[in-house]
Structure 1
Amino acid sequence: MKYIFKKLTEAKEKGLYRGDFKYLDSCQAPRVEIDGREIILLGSNNYLGLCNDARLKEAAVQAVNQYGVGAGGSRLTTGSYVLHRKLEEKIAEFKGTESSIVFNTGYMANVGVISTLCDRKWVIFCDKYNHASIIDGCLLSRARLIRYKHCDMKDLERKIREYKGENNLIVTDGVFSMEGDLAPLSDIIKLAKEHEMLIMVDDAHGMGVLGENGSGTVSYFNANEDVDIQMGTLSKAAASVGGYVAGKKYLIDYLRNFSRSFIFSTALPPASIAVSLESIDIIRNDVNRRNYLKELTQWFKEELEFAGFHVTDTITPIIPLIVGDAGKTVEFFKNLLEDGIYVPAIRPPAVPKGSSRLRISLMATHTYNDLQYVLDKVKLHGKRLGVIEG
């Protein structure tokens, strides 16, 4: 027990303690209610603003009325509904693959596919900034894990030549969740072809934002024929819950039969599946929503850069405002919250030491007026804290 108390004390002293959750008392929207106050929300993954969409709520209600509220079992026993089959067919069509399989979360999808596909005979080449669920999947597989510098193709090529084995996988985020930047997928594909390696892309933050009809990062790079495994989530732009893996039919059959995180979990409830089905149709057809989000992102990012902030080069609605020191980042967060703005403070181990940040994420339902107010307050506190020059 002393060990536990020691670790908690150290976390508090270093500004890394995460016990003070902020509880929302309203739906995910540009403005939310927290502790009885109306707050501008700038930290949600609800990129297209669909979490409170009337069409999605109606889809959920209809599913509850027809199918009830629980799945009742795992997909391999009594938990598979017609809706599950329809969603997996729709995801495969949307992602341009032969087949797909739905997991309960993106975390379970990443852990499931990597640990099921790879074993001690494999070598996995993994971007250092990949999501924690990818790292955990690699460790669980017991494959040899080789991490290359973030988006550094020279480092990746050098390590491929040094460590390549009989079976090899390159795995990367499509859009990096804490940086907002894109993997250099064209260069990764070139290396994979040269060395006969498989490619897996985690597209959790690309779906709904990038690519033809919002289908994601792989489509953005016109690489559907070159990427072997497309993983993604239904909990961000799609405003639902769940993860998925899309690829060749034999791969999906293999996961259905051997992936433990799929086999030994109760299925997602019908209402969530119904929402995902409807949201994919909305994403596919609503180009105006995506275009507005793109324009809003570009404007906001340029305003931050003009003010002197260090932000990542990104075309996605994830805009990290780099502060550096963890304690100063938390203070920045608290100051903004007092002014009615909620931007999450991201600290190690979610990001490398010395790169703590405010992770700003925009929604297609934000207004220029609200964001101008945010900019004014961010500049004010940024100067006071010495993040930018006064």
Structure 2
Amino acid sequence: MSRLLDRLQSEMAALDAQQLRRSRHIAETACAPEQALTLAGTSQPRTMLGFSSNDYLGLAAHPALAAAWAEGAALYGTGSGGSHLIQGHSRAHSQLEERLAAWMSPFIPEARSLFFCTGYMANLAVLSALGGADAVIFSEALNHASLIDGARLAKARVVRYAHCDMAALDAQLAACDAPVKLIVSDAVFSMDGHIAPVADLLALAERHDAWLVIDDAHGFGVLGATGRGVLQALGLRSQRLVLVGTLGKAAGVAGAFVAAHRTVVDYLVQRARPYIFTTAAPPAVAHALLASLTLIEGEEGAQRRLRLQARIAQLRLGLQAVLPADGSAWLAPSPTAIQPLMLGDNARAMRVTAQLDALGIRVGAIRPPTVPAGTARLRIALSASHSEADVARLVDAVGQALAQPLMKPAKEPA
């Protein structure tokens, strides 16, 4: 046993040497711009101004959603009691799926939807079910880990295409004679913030008779006139579309859904192992999500999206004025709530994060393997709940941190 533990400890030491160890912090209060956090290696909570949450619309602590969750628990109890195909599929789950199908029907003819406990699970389900032995999966180079793992779980052969390189993908598809082809991409790239060329991907899917699987984790609720995501924002419509939407980010609750043609969803119910062989999420989650969808598509959701866009514009303008002239740190191009401040070196990213911590600002340092080697960054995530003063404080703190001599962090942030 000592030999086995020594092996693990040796691997952990290697992570330490490369500034790649991950740590967890404890959130003591609800998700909000100002949140009490007990940082790793400390014992007392501090109130920090956070820019790491995916709560893009600021709904995670919305009183209407908390009330709907409590109402759902009163109606259905705290647990589902079983899988969706045994006894766990509640009226709340059914209503949520019907509502989401109606949301997506303008973009996917004869749409149905299927609710999952997490977005990770939804991606595993779609790719492992549709990616049979006679299929080839064409996977974007910067896809999220859940899409990569879903492709690994599938029996299909996997072909990786260069980031947003439509010419290369076109050639790869043309050279493939498999009877089933799946093009798979994030809609908004989670560590870079820019939007995939989804219209071009759909055109290739039409040309080469392929499915197009789009993970809209960071676009759902934020993009489009009523927050229905990238398909609404781009005005796309096709039976070839298989959309995965996350409900624990902009929607402020938890879970995910797959929206596709009714035949695809019926097939997933029969063949998607991550759906069949797991306990359904608590019905109260689905009940709260129904309230979230009402907020997202209504006037309040529209106003929150406008505020978010204003904070994005403010941040980008402000940071351009404080970034070093030598180009040693730069803001990657992004029109979304995800704003990557590129630092390159792992150690530097860790040190700048520690300097921001000292100023009461919490921004996560993102390092390999989440991003390619040499592209360590601060992933600044904005919310509609951030005020103009919050963003101004962040800009000032980043300017101070980048101007100071780099100090060694006491503990590694996550």
TM-score by length of 2: 0.90
Whether the 8 Å CA contact 1:218–1:227 is kept in 2: the answer is no
> How many pairs does the alignment contain?
385
| 1:239 correspondence with 2:252 | yes
Query: Does structure 1 retain, via aligned residues, the 8 Å contact 2:205–2:240?
Result: no
- State whether structure 2 residue 403 is matched by structure 1 residue 383: yes
Question: Within the alignment, does 1:32 sit opposite 2:35 as a pair?
Answer: yes
Aligned to 2:412: none
The reply to whether residue 14 of structure 1 matches residue 14 of structure 2 is: no
2:380 match: secondary structure: strand
Q: CA deviation at 1:227?
A: 4.7
* Aligned-partner Cα distance in 1 for 2:204–2:269: 30
Q: 1:219-263: per-residue Cα shift (whole Å, max 9, x none)?
A: 111113265200111100111111110011111111111111011
* 2:205 paired with 1:192: yes
Separation (CA, whole Å) in 1 of partners of 2:240 and 2:226: 18
Aligned partner of residue 182 in structure 2, secondary structure: strand
C-alpha distance in 1 between matches for 2:333 and 2:158:
28
Deviation at 1:300, TM superposition (A): 0.6
Task: State how 1:82-121 maps to structure 2 within 5 Å.
Answer: 82-96=91-105, 97=108, 98-121=111-134
2:26 alignment partner, SS class: coil
Which residue is 1:54 aligned to?
63
Say which of 251, 257, 267 aligns to 2:280. 267
Call closer, same or farther: CA 1:251–1:11 in 2, change over 3 Å. Answer: same
Deviates more, 1:225-234 or 1:135-144: 225-234
Q: CA deviation at 1:165?
A: 2.4
Post-superposition shift, 1:142?
2.3
Matches of 1:63 and 1:369, distance apart in 2: 36
Establish whether residue 180 from structure 1 lines up as the match of residue 184 from structure 2.
Answer: no
SS of 1:119 mapped into structure 2: coil
C-alpha distance in 2 between matches for 1:87 and 1:328: 45
* 1:116-265 matched pairs, under 5 angstroms: 116-225=129-238, 227-265=240-278
Q: Call closer, same or farther: CA 1:227–1:30 in 2, change over 3 Å.
A: farther
Q: Distance in 2 between matches of 1:383 and 1:194?
A: 51
Residue aligning to 2:53:
44
Q: Tell me the amino acid that sits aligned with residue 275 of structure 1.
A: A
Match of 1:356 in 2: 376
Deviation of the 1:312 alpha carbon: 2.1
What is the one-letter code of the residue matched to 1:327?
Answer: A
Whether 2:66 is the aligned partner of 1:65: answer no
Identify which range, 375-384 or 174-183, moves more after superposition: 375-384
Letter in 2 for 1:270: P
* 1:332 lines up with 2:345 in the alignment: no
Q: What SS class does the counterpart of residue 212 from structure 1 fall into?
A: coil
Q: If the length of structure 1 is used for normalisation, what is the TM-score?
A: 0.96
- Do the aligned residues in 1 keep the contact of 2:225 with 2:302 (CA within 8 Å)? no
Residues 346 and 358 in structure 1, CA contact (< 8 A), matched pair in contact too: yes
Determine the structure 1 residue equivalent to 2:322. Answer: 307
1:87 deviates by 0.2
Q: Give the SS at the match of 1:348.
A: coil
Partner SS, residue 27 of structure 2: coil
| Aligned-partner SS, 1:334 | helix
Q: 1:348 to 1:37 in 2, by over 3 A?
A: same
Q: Which amino acid aligns with 1:38?
A: T
Structure 1 unmatched ranges of 5 or more: none
Shift in Å, 1:302: 2.3
Partners of 2:164 and 2:342 in 1: CA distance? 19
Match of 2:340 among 302, 306, 320: 320
Q: Which amino acid aligns with 1:248?
A: H
User: What are the superposed Cα offsets for residues 74-100 of structure 1, whole Å, 9 maximum, x if unpaired?
Assistant: 111111110000000111111224200
| Aligned-residue offset at 1:385 | 5.4
Native 8 Å contact 1:122 1:143 kept in 2: yes
Distance 1:108 1:12 in 2: 30
Deviations 1:245-301 (A, max 9, x none): 001111111111111101111111021111111101100112111111011112212
Contact 2:314–2:391 (Cα < 8 Å) also in 1: no
Verify the 8 A CA contact 1:328 1:385 in the aligned structure 2.
no
| Contact 1:189-1:226 within 8 A present in 2 as well | no
